[in-house]
Amino acid sequence: MHQASARHHSAARTGVWFVGARGSVASTATMGLAAIADGQAAPTGCVTAREPFASADLPAFADLVVGGHDISSVTMTKRAECLVESGMIPPRLLAATHDALERADAEARPGYDPHAAEQNLSQQAAAERLAADITSFQERHALARVVVVDLSSTEPPVVPVPEHDDVDALLLALADPARAVLPASSVSAYAAVLAGAAYAAFTPSAGMGLPALTQLARERGIPVAGQDGKTGQTWLRTVLAPAFAARGLKVLSWSGTNLLGGGDGATLADPEAVRSKLASKNRGLTALTGSDTTPLHIDNVPDLGDIKVAWDHVHVEGFLGSRLTLQTTWSAHDSMLAAPLVLDLARLLALAHAAGLSGPVPELGFFFKDPWGSDVHDAAAQVGALEGWVRRTSARVRR
């Protein structure tokens, strides 16, 4: 029933605007969306395909239209071909979704590159250009709304400046061509605000997370969610850590290692960029266990491509000082883990936008390692909060 009911409740189409539209995750999400909408694949792995989401006022998969920004010239189709060659995507799905990939790629526009010629413009002018692309996309396809999802490469941690905390000071600084007060991810986030589009940060980059931008989104009625998608290892950690606490067991240490290749592996080989990822991955675990002994390493292994391998070693104190050890190994195509969650976020933020919500939506913290507006990291508690939220918000839209 879920496709038909969703279409009835939300007949108007919704745009999904990917920042990093030609990357592996966006290309996988676009392929998956086309396959689901056309009946070529089931929405396995999509949280919103089950109840209570299936009966909620979410846009149907078939009513999602893809566009985006990217600084890469590699097309979505070429990216998808590479994913097929790696063994991640069945060849039949590439054939079935080829036209959809071509249509989506035709909607891709040049992203913000602070190292290109555009650096001679003010960041205000750059954001206005990006916002105009989003607005044009919405008007061209007669979309009720657009949801921007940042899937771009991880940036180094932002160096705070006073303008990050004050809206008026930030707007003044953005108009100065001689200054660059925002990282690229935050320029894209600001563009979403200017375009009136809902926004999700699926990366650990700053994005909308700067206080002034969060406040601006709240003032302008823009719902936002983030930060850093919780796809595999961190999700499993937030399932297991509360179980130890529930049994009264004390976690002494929780060590982890990630092995990955592809674009993410290359990006995170940069010691500055990896700092953002390590911080977001560890924050929830530290909060759940109360232990500050949670060393984590991320290593680039190019031959793994899109496959991510995550290993954890958990050392626990039990009754009368006894010791318990748990080891887990997680291996999966990273884009396959992320893509369904990206589609979920697009549908749920469309509902939030339709309901008139603004600022961070804490109940969407289920999808993130470092959730905005929430200090809850327990996966089970997050599921309950999300299900309650979708029922309430859907009822609000129906009134």
20 and 112 belong to one structural domain? yes
Please indicate whether residue 2 or residue 368 has the higher confidence score (pLDDT).
Answer: 368
225 and 240 belong to one structural domain? no
Which helix H or strand E contains 128, and what residues bound it?
A: helix 123-140
What's the DSSP call for residue 239? Answer: H
The pLDDT score that the predictor gives to residue 11 is 47
Please indicate whether residue 380 or residue 290 has the higher confidence score (pLDDT).
Answer: 380
The pLDDT score that the predictor gives to residue 298 is 84
Task: Say what the alpha-carbon torsion angle 360, 272, 114, 221 is, to the nearest 10 degrees.
Answer: 0
| pLDDT one-digit tens code per residue, 287-299 | 888 877 788 888 8
**Average pLDDT, stretch 33-59?**
95
200 and 65 belong to one structural domain? yes
The pLDDT score that the predictor gives to residue 284 is 81
Average pLDDT across the chain, whole number: 91
Whether this model's pTM surpasses 0.85:
yes
- CA distances (Å), origin 85, targets 89, 90, 241, 297, 324: 8, 9, 37, 29, 42
Residue 282's pLDDT band, with cuts at 50, 70 and 90, is: confident
What's the DSSP call for residue 366? Answer: G
Instruction: With beta carbons less than 8 A apart as the criterion, state whether 78 and 121 touch.
Output: no
Instruction: With beta carbons less than 8 A apart as the criterion, state whether 54 and 1 touch.
Output: yes
317 and 265 belong to one structural domain? yes
| pLDDT one-digit tens code per residue, 301-320 | 888 888 889 999 999 999 99
156 and 284 belong to one structural domain? no
**Average pLDDT, stretch 372-399?**
95
Residue 7's pLDDT band, with cuts at 50, 70 and 90, is: very low
135 and 240 belong to one structural domain? no
Q: Which of 333, 358, 387 is the last residue of a domain?
A: 333
Which residue range forms the structural domain that includes residue 12? 2-229+336-398
Q: Quick check: 325 pLDDT over 70?
A: yes
Q: Which of 310, 333, 356 is the last residue of a domain?
A: 333
Residue 269's pLDDT band, with cuts at 50, 70 and 90, is: confident
Residue 348's pLDDT band, with cuts at 50, 70 and 90, is: very high
138 and 110 belong to one structural domain? yes
205 and 237 belong to one structural domain? no
The CATH code of the domain that includes 313 is 3.30.360.10
Q: Which of 317, 333, 349 is the last residue of a domain?
A: 333
The CATH code of the domain that includes 103 is 3.40.50.720
Q: Quick check: 264 pLDDT over 90?
A: no
Residue 4's pLDDT band, with cuts at 50, 70 and 90, is: very low
| pLDDT one-digit tens code per residue, 56-98 | 999 999 999 999 999 999 999 999 999 998 888 989 999 999 9
The pLDDT score that the predictor gives to residue 273 is 66
Tell me how many domains the chain contains: 2
The pLDDT score that the predictor gives to residue 117 is 60
65 and 158 belong to one structural domain? yes
What is the length of the chain?
399
237 and 215 belong to one structural domain? no
Task: Say what the alpha-carbon torsion angle 62, 21, 152, 116 is, to the nearest 10 degrees.
Answer: -150
218 and 249 belong to one structural domain? no
Q: Out of 15-19, 270-274, 328-332, which region has the weakest mean confidence (pLDDT)?
A: 270-274
**Average pLDDT, stretch 174-194?**
96
The pLDDT score that the predictor gives to residue 6 is 39
The pLDDT score that the predictor gives to residue 143 is 98
| pLDDT one-digit tens code per residue, 105-162 | 999 999 999 887 666 789 999 999 999 999 999 999 999 999 999 999 889 888 899 9
140 and 190 belong to one structural domain? yes
